[in-house]
Copies of this chain bind each other. A is one copy, B any other.
Amino acid sequence: MAAERSGGGDPARTLALLWRTPQPPKPVGRKPKVSVDQIVTAAIEVADREGLGAMSMARVAQELGVGTMSLYTHVPGKAELIDLMTDVVLQERDLASDGTWRERIKHYADRTRAVYQAHPWMRDVSMVRPPLGPGLMDGQEFVLAALADSGLEPRLVTVAHVAVEGFVHGAAASEVDDQQLAAATGESGDSWWGARQIFWDDYFDVERYPAMTALWNAGAYETEGSLAEHVHSSFDFGLDKLLDGIEGGMR
């Protein structure tokens, strides 16, 4: 399915929800059975366990013991609910701000990765029109502050910011993709690749792929750890090199 997108609904309503603008208590009327926080928490639990595909309005309502349509009293729609879920889990990063600028960016990358690990459905959430809530904003501030301390001039800070954010979210999404697929299909990544052993036997053409063949023969693919560990260390390497490049470009 396509990426989940932010709702086109009333921005004022969505922003009030994201920042939990306190609503004046209603003096009259029926008492609510559920709150926005309960709905968001239940939705996150369902998505954590069964994926964003399983997080339907009916499923969340069932979890809370209310009717499906009751949710719409508290939340404009599913897209906005995903916005709320996203900002809540981004807040879990709880970013600490000491160390050099490089250390802080690596800290940011680690914490963001941890969010994706804990909530693999984040892979399916598009970040180009992000929820403008405290979780997202605190993260942006953290990275921008670090980059500003690096000595880059302001214009380049904003450019580097997009590059770093893109790398970190992309890397975290990639890493988690494998686990998510494993959960969704009931087949591990290693098992999946194993079942495709016949590719190397029947289709791989040594003449057509000399570079891959040479690397294979040089033992470059005789890795020790699991697939996931290899991917993880590759992204550590990539982030390091990206920061090296940014640092070097200033001297």
Chain A residues within 8 Å of B, Cβ to Cβ:
1-6, 8, 11-12, 15, 19, 51-53, 121, 123-124, 126-129, 132, 137, 140-141, 144-145, 148, 154-164, 166-167, 169-171, 173-174, 177-178, 180-181, 184-185, 187, 189, 192, 195-196, 198-199, 202-203, 208-212, 214-215, 218-221, 223, 230-231, 233-235, 237-238, 240-246, 248-249
State the CA gap A231–B161 with chains docked (Å). 10
Chain B residues within 8 Å of A5, by CB:
181, 184-185
Complex Cα spacing A162 to B235, Å? 7
User: Looking at the complex, which one of B144, B164, B181 makes contact with A211 (CB distance below 8 Å)?
Assistant: B144
Q: Find the B residue at minimum CB distance from A204.
A: B137
Query: Once the chains bind, are B162 and A230 in contact (CB under 8 Å)?
Result: yes
10 new A-B contacts at CB < 8 Å, known A144-B212, A160-B234? A11-B198, A141-B208, A141-B209, A158-B220, A158-B221, A160-B241, A161-B234, A170-B170, A170-B171, A242-B242
- 9 A-B pairs closest in CB distance: A1-B1, A170-B170, A163-B238, A241-B245, A162-B234, A244-B245, A154-B220, A145-B211, A2-B53
The smallest C-beta distance from A174 to any residue of chain B, in angstroms, reads 5
Query: Which residues of the partner chain B approach A170 to less than 8 Å between Cβ atoms?
Result: 166-167, 169-171, 173-174
Q: Max chain B CB contacts within 10 Å: which of A53, A127, A234?
A: A234
**Pairs A–B under 8 Å by Cβ, sample size 18:** A1-B53, A2-B121, A3-B124, A3-B181, A5-B184, A6-B192, A11-B198, A12-B198, A15-B202, A19-B203, A126-B177, A132-B196, A141-B210, A156-B237, A160-B237, A163-B234, A163-B238, A248-B248
Contact assessment for B11 and A195 in the assembled complex, using a CB-CB cutoff below 8 Å: yes
- Of chain B, the residue at the smallest CB distance from A121 is B2
